[in-house]
Structure 1
């Protein structure tokens, strides 16, 4: 038998070293290096010898192609994120914070697919079958023909799947609880997670069964375990949300069979997750129309327009270095907008604390929110409330110019549908009007928007002074 040696593997990034250390040199994590036996993995057990390879047929690039067949789950928001449903033989990785609702979402997906006549298997490594049944009863899904199992051995799971009718969907909750005899380490380690995922993905490709793996997340929000697992699967989905809020967002960060900029919005209720067909009404439902520092951003998530309120608070600071706090947006981009406002518009923030928040807990990634952020910042600094019927969108460059963004007409249609009458956006979009009730005002330089907000502030001061004279 070949001699097996020890190696030390970082449980955060999967880096391998020859000796133990308190800090991983690859990712910088402390106390993440664990001792493991070398030679683990598929085909790497004790006494195993490498087999002779076989000749793999080579195919030409040109030839007939078949579109990937889809299996719709019946939950439209979930199907939107996956690209139209499950692809047979694909593997998906779903991550999210503990208690955010990953198991609830997947048991609802499993029940909806099973009710449509597709065989579904739900394997839980964290809960007993009775606990899964209790959740199903609470959600009103007890009558769904979903087959349950509570098992953590990968070999037993694969043997069971081969013995029953071939399922269309297999859900593994979670990948960190599985273990295989081919690896001599504890469940949840890098070697166990990587090997277990590889065995399940191989089963999916060979049988045509769709496999969904649930993954835990680390304190920084990434899926725990080696990053190679994310490269092995066909799609990586993150279930986001705040435990203090009632809505959740399913977002794709990788998808070989669909777009990666789509989101699905759900609302957490006593009966489980409910689909939100119009997220704009949800995010704008509690906004204060007369408050300074609030601007409505006409955003776009994939093919879906979403209107969200951006809130800014600019307050005098007694600190030598004023604070900059951001929730739901990129902090570096906020610093850039502040620098552009100071350099090209003459608006000074050096003696003020700046707080920026995306209302409702949504996370905005597209740069089209620059103009709305700038409007909210200037509004808060000047103490001037922006128009309640206005929306903003546009990318701001370092020179202070407002650059055009994609799908401007789609953003305007969504704003008009919700009752907004005016829109501020890039002049270069060439849009004269968003519709019969929508007026589009093009902005070429950021300074033009600052001047308009200042003019509106002077008008509000004049009206306020006139009202005070009348009362006297």
Structure 2
């Protein structure tokens, strides 16, 4: 018998090591090495396994200017929000990985998409976690037209590729990649070895046949995609469906996209009939109620290619312990601590003995630095117990020296705020408009000027 080779792969960075060790030498992470077993394969299978993920082997060398630059045809999913995150729709031969927490609605969204696409092209839904009657019950409960959609319950990679080769679907959904297993790999399904080999084989099939591949991926307890990091390098698009169990809204965010902009955001509402698009997300996140309270500020964040109005809330209260708490939901906690230090040094406001709680309304995760000024305004409003005007919108980046830095797409942010009825804005001086936008805009250069403006 051929000797079985073993390698150890880091699940964070994808680097390989000859033996197990506590720390990865490349990325420095601890306890991230998982055993990767390479089973013996025949010469034909070994040659096929060495093929590139692009599906082309032995291609001729070409001049870059001679390569055709015609736009790849896109296939609309039927959801404008989903198409926005994908960059305009599904691209033939692309591999898309959809991740999310259990119960977020990944299978529901893909089932709705395939039922719509099945009316115009061949689609195949391969499930390994649910039985066919369970999927049929869900489709009936959601009121979907499932006359043309083909299903198969399969966990074997070889049999699944055989089914796909026989039916020749234009769109193939694999739910999920963690339950597939290859006979050439001896480890259990869901391991690093199985996920890596199965994803590589499916991606090669999609590239060679022009099939759109949609894979469902599990997430870890930290919220990241489970499996080796190399899985995210193989695929073309990585999308996360986020949303808490106590909220009816779901956000679809793209973290990698070879065919469009990254960090695009799509908003859906979970209803009895499945996921419904939210055409105007800003109206949902701005449901502030009739009572004006302190500690609330509206900011304009830039998500992908569009502005989004979001309310941020802060609560500053006396701490009963020696170490005050700093809690940030929807924002980076380290940045909150840094901004509090800037507020003390350049704003003259001492909150070192106060508990500070910050929350972004609606469950949205704000990743950009344009929310710094709005966050500080909410903290100051709560600390002084003075409500801010309802028609005020704020955005801007705060530097360590107390300067207010401009942010990209300032004009578009102001126009979006004006559409929703805001008449006053405090923005960086570099984002102040030159013309009249129909609202009062105050441009500030330092944090002290911004605090004086309110």
Normalised to the residue count of structure 1, the TM-score between the two structures is: 0.89
Match of 2:152 in 1: 149
Match of 2:451 in 1: 450
Is 1:161 the equivalent of 2:164? yes
By how many angstroms is 1:369 displaced?
0.5
Is 1:110 the equivalent of 2:114? yes
Question: 2-side partners of 1:79 and 1:9: how far apart?
Answer: 34
1:220-235 equivalences under 5 Å are 220-235=222-237
Question: 1-side partners of 2:434 and 2:267: how far apart?
Answer: 32
By how many angstroms is 1:87 displaced?
0.6
Question: 2-side partners of 1:107 and 1:262: how far apart?
Answer: 22
Question: 2-side partners of 1:380 and 1:199: how far apart?
Answer: 55
Change (3 A) 1:234 1:11: closer
Question: 2-side partners of 1:260 and 1:8: how far apart?
Answer: 31
SS at 2:433 equivalent: coil
Question: 2-side partners of 1:409 and 1:9: how far apart?
Answer: 47
Is 1:74 the equivalent of 2:63? no
Match of 1:139 in 2: 142
Paired residues of 2:432 and 2:441 also in contact (CA < 8 A): no
Change (3 A) 1:81 1:6: closer
Change (3 A) 1:432 1:268: same
Question: 2-side partners of 1:78 and 1:104: how far apart?
Answer: 13
Match of 2:53 in 1: none
Match of 1:324 in 2: 326
Instruction: Say which one has the larger Rg.
Output: 1
Task: Select between 200-209 and 7-16 the one with higher mean Cα deviation.
Answer: 7-16
Change (3 A) 1:366 1:201: same
Match of 1:466 in 2: none
Is 1:244 the equivalent of 2:246? yes
Is 1:274 the equivalent of 2:281? no
Deviations 1:106-137 (A, max 9, x none): 1111112123x111111001011111111111
SS at 2:164 equivalent: helix
SS at 2:144 equivalent: coil
Paired residues of 2:261 and 2:305 also in contact (CA < 8 A): no
Gaps spanning 5+ residues in structure 1: where?
Answer: 454-472
Deviations 1:335-384 (A, max 9, x none): 12111111111111111111110011111011111110011011111110
2:61 aligned to 50, 58, 61, which one?
Answer: 58
Question: 2-side partners of 1:201 and 1:176: how far apart?
Answer: 15
Match of 1:178 in 2: 180
Task: Select between 369-378 and 45-54 the one with higher mean Cα deviation.
Answer: 45-54
Gaps spanning 5+ residues in structure 2: where?
Answer: 51-56
Deviations 1:126-171 (A, max 9, x none): 011111111111111143521111101111111111112x211100
2:420 aligned to 415, 418, 421, which one?
Answer: 418
Question: 1-side partners of 2:451 and 2:412: how far apart?
Answer: 26
Question: 2-side partners of 1:12 and 1:73: how far apart?
Answer: 31
RMSD: 2.2
1:403-442 equivalences under 5 Å are 403-432=405-434, 435-436=437-438, 438-442=439-443
Task: Select between 368-377 and 49-58 the one with higher mean Cα deviation.
Answer: 49-58
Change (3 A) 1:153 1:396: same
Question: 2-side partners of 1:140 and 1:292: how far apart?
Answer: 45
- Number of equivalent positions: 444
Task: Select between 19-28 and 422-431 the one with higher mean Cα deviation.
Answer: 19-28
Question: 2-side partners of 1:204 and 1:333: how far apart?
Answer: 41
Normalised to the residue count of structure 2, the TM-score between the two structures is: 0.92
Is 1:3 the equivalent of 2:3? yes
Task: Select between 441-450 and 352-361 the one with higher mean Cα deviation.
Answer: 441-450
By how many angstroms is 1:441 displaced?
1.3
Question: 2-side partners of 1:370 and 1:287: how far apart?
Answer: 24
1:338-377 equivalences under 5 Å are 338-377=340-379
Deviations 1:431-456 (A, max 9, x none): 156633x2111122111222233xxx
Change (3 A) 1:50 1:114: closer
Match of 2:199 in 1: 197
Deviations 1:263-304 (A, max 9, x none): 110001111001000001111124465111100011221222
Match of 2:220 in 1: 218
Match of 2:54 in 1: none
SS at 1:414 equivalent: helix
Question: 1-side partners of 2:301 and 2:425: how far apart?
Answer: 12
SS at 2:275 equivalent: strand
Paired residues of 2:269 and 2:276 also in contact (CA < 8 A): yes
Is 1:45 the equivalent of 2:41? yes
